[in-house]
Structure 1
Amino acid sequence: MIISKFYYLRKNLYSMAELVLEQVILLSEALEADDYEQALNIVERDDLIDDLEKENDNLSQNAILEAVSNRNILGMGDVDNGIVLKKDPLRFALSAIRITRNMERMGDQVVNCADVFRHQTIRKGLFKNEEPMTLILSRVTTLAGMAIESLVEEKERFMGSVNSLEDELNELCDQAFKKYRSVPDMEKQEFADVYRIILALERLGDYAVNVAEELVRLNTGKDIRHLENVKSKPTLYP
C-alpha cells in the first residue's frame, strides 16, 4: 500500500516536472519565432499542470499519513531528525508538496509571459535578435532544465552553479529594464508588456532555483535558502 502511494506520487511529480519544462521550452520557441498561436497553446495547456498539482497535493497528504503510521516498519523510527535521507518517505512527501508548489508557480509565470505576448503589442524579433532578452531566455531555460533534470534523475549534485546563474539572470533582467525604458520609439503599452515579461521570466528562474534548493535539502539535510548575505555562499553545484 505504501509503495503504491509513493510510486504514484513520484510518477505524478515527474510528469508535472516534465510538463513544466516542456512549457518553458515552448515559451522560448514561441517568443523567438514570434509564434502567437503557440503562445495561445501554452496558455490553454496550463490546465494540465493545475490538474497534476491537485493530484500531487492529494497524493502527498495521503503519503504523509501512511508514512507517519508506518515509519517504524520502514526502519525510519530511529533516524535523527537532523538528517535527511531520500529513503525516508515522510521527508520525501513533505518535500514533494514544496516542489509541487514551486513547479506550479513556474507554470504560472510561463503562462503570464505567453498571455502578454499573444496580444502582439511587442515588436517582432525582440526575443530573437536583441540582447539581453536572448540571454534571459537562455538562462531561464537552463535554470528550469537543471532543476527538472535533477528532480527526475534524482541527482544530488549538478553541473554548473545555480546560484551564479540566478545572479546572472537577475542582472540581465535589470539590464533589460533599463535598456527598454530608454528606447525612444517604444510606446507605453509595449514597454509595459515587455516589463511584465521580464518580471515573469525573472520569477520563473527564482522558482526553478527553489526546486533545486529543495532537492539539496532533501538529499543532504542542508537548508541553503536565503544565504545571499553569507560571505561564502555554498553553491548547488561543485
Structure 2
Amino acid sequence: MPDKHLSSRFDADLTALSTRLLEMGGLVESQIVLAIEALNTFGLDIVERVLEAERRLNVMEMEIDEEITNVIARRQPAARDLRLLMAASKCVANLERAGDEARKIVKRTRRIATAPSAPHVNIAEIKISGEMALKVLRRALDAFARMDTDEADQIIRDDEAIDNEFRAFMRKLVTYMAEDPRAISSALDYLFIAKAIERIGDHATNIAESVVYVVRGTDIRHEHRKKSEREVLPG
C-alpha cells in the first residue's frame, strides 16, 4: 500500500508538471501568432504585447525548472521516469528560446515599421515559414503530451521544409540588395526575422527528439541533421 501511495503522488507530480509545460507551450504559441500578425500588419501595439508575454515566459521557465528539480529530489526517479523529467526540462528550455525568437521577430518588425522610407520587400516565404513553424510547434507539443513517437519521427523528417523556405528567401534577399542598395537595411532586418522563424522550427524539432528519447531511451539529437548533410554533400 505505501508503494502505491508513493506512485500515486509521483503520478500527480508528473501530471502537474505536464500541465504547466503545456501551459507554457500555449503562451509561446500565442507569442508566435502575435509576432506573425505584427509582421503582417506592422501593428506596434502587438509588438508590446509580445514583449510583455516574453517576460511572463521567463518567469514560467524558472518556476517549472524549480518544480522539476524538486520532483527529482523528492522522488529520485529512475529509467523512463527520469528521462521524462530530463526531457521536460529540455522542452522548457526550447520553449523559452522559441519565445525569444518571437521577441526578435517583433523587435525587427518595429525597426522596419518605423524606418523612414524602407523599400518594399516581398516576404511570401517568411509568411509561409512562419505558419509552418507555428504548426510544427503545436504538433511537437501534442506529441510530447501523448508521447507519440510516430508523430515525433514525422516532425523530425519535416524539419527540412522550413529550412528550404529560409534558403529561398535568402536567395531573394541577395537579389533585392544587389538591385537596390537602399533595400539593404530592411533586407537585413527581414533576414533576422526569417532566421528567427527557422530557429522556432528547430526548437520544435528538439521537442520531438525529446519524445523519442523518453519512449525509446535513444538520444537522436543531431542525427537527422547529419543525414541531411550527407545527402547534400555525398561522400
TM category, shorter: 0.7 to 0.9
Aligned-partner Cα distance in 2 for 1:196–1:175 = 14
Deviations 1:148-200 (A, max 9, x none): 22223443332883234321211211111121122134522211211111111
Residues 139 and 165 of structure 1 are in contact (CA less than 8 Å); yes or no, is this contact kept in structure 2? no
Residues 106 and 204 of structure 1 are in contact (CA less than 8 Å); yes or no, is this contact kept in structure 2? yes
2:37 match: 29
Aligned-partner Cα distance in 2 for 1:2–1:165 = 35
Residues paired across the two proteins, number: 214
Aligned-partner Cα distance in 2 for 1:106–1:157 = 23
Report whether the alignment pairs 1:6 with 2:14. yes
**SS of equivalent to 2:151:** coil
Amino acid at match of 1:229: K
Cα 1:124–1:111 change in 2 (3 A) is farther
Instruction: Please tell me the root mean square deviation across aligned C-alpha atoms, in Å.
Output: 2.6
Cα 1:152–1:23 change in 2 (3 A) is farther
Selected match of 2:62 from 54, 71, 79:
54
Amino acid at match of 1:100: V
Residues 8 and 59 of structure 1 are in contact (CA less than 8 Å); yes or no, is this contact kept in structure 2? no
Residues 30 and 39 of structure 1 are in contact (CA less than 8 Å); yes or no, is this contact kept in structure 2? yes
**SS of equivalent to 2:222:** coil
Residues 36 and 127 of structure 2 are in contact (CA less than 8 Å); yes or no, is this contact kept in structure 1? no
1:215 match: 211
Residues 152 and 209 of structure 2 are in contact (CA less than 8 Å); yes or no, is this contact kept in structure 1? no
Aligned-partner Cα distance in 2 for 1:220–1:123 = 51
The sequence identity of aligned pairs, in percent, is 22
Selected match of 2:226 from 223, 226, 229:
229
Report whether the alignment pairs 1:92 with 2:84. yes
Aligned-partner Cα distance in 2 for 1:143–1:26 = 16
Selected match of 1:188 from 180, 184, 188:
184
2:3 match: none
Runs of 5+ unmatched residues, structure 1: 234-238
Runs of 5+ unmatched residues, structure 2: 1-8, 231-235
Deviations 1:29-52 (A, max 9, x none): 222233232122111211111111
Cα offset, 1:93, TM superposition: 1.5
**SS of equivalent to 1:158:** helix
Residues 144 and 205 of structure 1 are in contact (CA less than 8 Å); yes or no, is this contact kept in structure 2? yes
